[in-house]
Amino acid sequence: MPQHIALPPYDRYGISTFVVSNGQVQISHFGATKDADGQRLTTIEAQTAETFAHLRDALGEIGLGLQDMLKVTVILRNIEDFNGMHRAWLQYFPENAPARTTITSAFVSEAVLIQIDGVAASR
């Protein structure tokens, strides 16, 4: 039976942050429009870096890390942000990067430039 884990803020919305089943962790969407001090992040590099920092910290809550990532789907508002996203990506995955698909989509908020979801290996 799958194990559903809802960390803040997902727990307020009836969404699982992670679902663990059959040796894999399915990961809900992550994004960031503000930093830890509440300052608005307006560049793709800043939002990407903060998004992966959030993911890293959340994975740490369940005893995993970015090195456990198998697959990441990157969703960009603007394809023109691809290079900036990739520069920030390399800060978190300088080698042995997970598989990645990058697509574009509109978001509910105009402030959102990137969201990610993915799959990690469980331990």
Dig out the tokens for 6 from the structure.
Answer: 């809802």
Cα separation of 51 and 46, whole Å? 8
Q: pTM score, two decimals?
A: 0.94
pLDDT given for residue 11 in this prediction: 86
- The residue segments making up the domain with residue 109 are 3-121
State which H helix or E strand residue 27 sits in. strand 24-30
Check which CATH number belongs to the domain holding 88 and give it: 3.30.1330.40
Q: How many domains does the chain have?
A: 1
Q: What string of pLDDT tens digits covers the 123 residues of the chain?
A: 999 999 988 889 999 999 999 999 999 999 999 999 999 999 999 999 999 999 999 999 999 999 999 999 999 999 999 999 999 999 999 999 999 999 999 999 999 999 999 999 998
pLDDT given for residue 122 in this prediction: 95
